[in-house]
Amino acid sequence: MALGIRFKINFLLVALLFGLFGAVGYTQLSITEELTVEEMGRRGVAMLAALSVPCSIALANHEIERLDDYLAQFASSDNLPGIRPYRLAAADLVSLAVLDLHGRVLAHTVETEYGRVLADEFTKQALASDKPLVKKRLTAGGQKALFVALPIISGLRWGTLEARFSLERLEGKIERLRLHFLGITGLAVILSILALSWGLGKLVVRPVASLSRMAESLRVGDFSSRVEVSTRDELGRLAEAFNIASAQLHEYTTRLEEKVRERSQQIIEKNRELEEANRMLNEQAKRLEELATTDGLTGLFNKRHWMERVGSFEVMRARRGRHSLSLMMIDVDHFKHYNDTNGHLAGDELLRKLARIIRNTLRSTDIAGRFGGEEFCVALIDTDIDDARAVAEKLRKTVEAADFDYQQNQPGGKLTVSIGVAELDLDKDDLEALIDKADRALYDAKARGRNRVEVWHPGSKD
């Protein structure tokens, strides 16, 4: 009978100790792994946020080839800024890519991926999101990896940064901790059984039951429970050991919770700083873009940006797709007389009002700009010469009917415009040739009495 009780107590002790240490160890390892993955995700987002600054400038300037250089620099921990989170994130970096709004790879740390359209579920979610996206998932090869994505400019879908971080190093650390914990647990169980086996008897059952209740409390996370020490033998010492272990676990858990709170607060503060920095960068980028592309007086595109936009994109798009593209050249009739009679401030206000009329008359797809002085240019997208003439005539009539200050001082008592219209020859013309045609048509309109629309034809004057 005594051997049976000893066996039962030993069996119960083994089960409780393994359960106790297993629950605590598994919980601790799970928390550690989860916190580490979360921290890696935050560092990955921080790294991508830092990378998004030069990438946004490169995209704004259409310098796509520079994206590969930026990715190469950020993929190497030696070239990263001297900030610890960036270097730690780069240590597990597997790949880094810049995607356009359709998921096409503009730049990638793996050369063979360039130009490929990514259509996996994570990429679809990343392209649809205007916020950072972090997910832990399996790769095509079955390895665990952390995927991080971030819009290059918050709130604007210019492009998306996507990074993949390997979790193999983290999994290796967790596995080593797990083996270490199993060794400690096994040793603790063996020592406990040897220590308690000498004191088995009638007086053992109650202390063991007490210890069992305490172990159960520890298993559910109540580290405040203690065992009353009534003897100084092995059971008493074991009870003291349980009390010490419980106190240490309680202290450790308290410190860990405090550290987690402190770290969470630090992360919140850093996120606020990053958000503020991102907001300021967005404002500066927007302001720089406005200064570089718009005319300060009218708010329309300036000549340089208009020429670049239409010449580098719209003309080539029209040729590739065989789409119509027409151009209007608009000039204010007798503008010098208006300026000399009413002053330059009145002339500036006239140009601003005329720019508003042009914007309100055109479609959102048409591209208007100030070509210089009182001359404006408008690219009519997907518009043939007949429709372009109709648009020009509508604009001319709208200007003629508008109420401008001091218009009664103009010849004829009204402020008017002359408009030249031309259509792009898809097989011959470039932008300069199209502008020349529209300018000749404008000259014809001026020569034939002003306040009229003329369409370019081969006989138009130089």
Q: Which of 170, 189, 207 is the last residue in one of the domains?
A: 170
449, 307: one domain: yes
181, 243: one domain: yes
- Supply the CATH number for residue 142's domain: 3.30.450.20
- pLDDT value of residue 161: 85
29 in any annotated domain: no
164, 73: one domain: yes
Q: With contact defined as beta carbons under 8 Å apart, do 117 and 110 qualify?
A: no
Pick the closest to residue 252 from 9, 10, 27 (CA basis). Answer: 27
- pLDDT value of residue 211: 66
254, 153: one domain: no
- pLDDT value of residue 229: 61
Domain of residue 232 covers 2-24+172-273
pLDDT per residue as tens, the chain (462 positions): 444 555 666 667 667 766 776 677 677 767 877 777 787 788 878 887 887 788 878 777 877 778 777 777 777 655 444 444 444 455 678 888 888 888 888 888 887 888 888 888 888 888 888 888 888 887 777 778 888 888 887 666 678 888 888 878 877 887 787 788 777 777 766 776 677 666 555 566 666 677 667 677 767 777 676 767 666 766 667 767 767 877 777 777 788 888 888 888 888 888 888 888 788 777 776 777 666 789 999 999 999 999 999 998 999 999 999 999 999 999 999 999 999 999 999 999 999 999 999 999 999 999 999 998 999 999 999 999 999 999 999 999 999 999 999 999 999 899 999 999 999 999 999 999 999 999 999 999 999 999 999 999 876 555
- pLDDT value of residue 129: 83
61, 139: one domain: yes
Helices (H) and strands (E) counted in the chain, each on its own, are 13, 10
Looking at the DSSP bridge assignments, the partners of residue 144 are: 138
144 in any annotated domain: yes
Q: Which of 149, 170, 191 is the last residue in one of the domains?
A: 170
325, 409: one domain: yes
114 in any annotated domain: yes
Q: Which of 170, 188, 222 is the last residue in one of the domains?
A: 170
- Rounded-to-integer distance, Cα 106 and Cα 305, Å: 23
Pick the closest to residue 113 from 162, 73, 150, 167 (CA basis). Answer: 162
211, 132: one domain: no
162, 72: one domain: yes
218, 159: one domain: no
376, 395: one domain: yes
Please, what's the b/e burial string for 256-294 (b: 16 or more CB within 10 A of its CB; e: otherwise)?
eeeeeeeeeeeeeeeeeeeeeebeebeeebeeeeeeebb
The total domain count for the chain is 3
- Supply the CATH number for residue 437's domain: 3.30.70.270
Pick the closest to residue 241 from 271, 266, 260, 218 (CA basis). Answer: 218
- pLDDT value of residue 330: 98
- Rounded-to-integer distance, Cα 130 and Cα 156, Å: 8
User: CB neighbours (10 Å) of residue 365?
Assistant: 11
pTM over 0.75: no
User: CB neighbours (10 Å) of residue 437?
Assistant: 24
106, 62: one domain: yes
390 in any annotated domain: yes
324 in any annotated domain: yes
Looking at the DSSP bridge assignments, the partners of residue 148 are: 134, 163
Sign for the CA dihedral angle at 130, 136, 137, 141 comes to positive
Residue for token pair 């708010």: 299
- pLDDT value of residue 274: 82
- Rounded-to-integer distance, Cα 219 and Cα 20, Å: 5
- Rounded-to-integer distance, Cα 439 and Cα 181, Å: 84
320 in any annotated domain: yes
209, 149: one domain: no
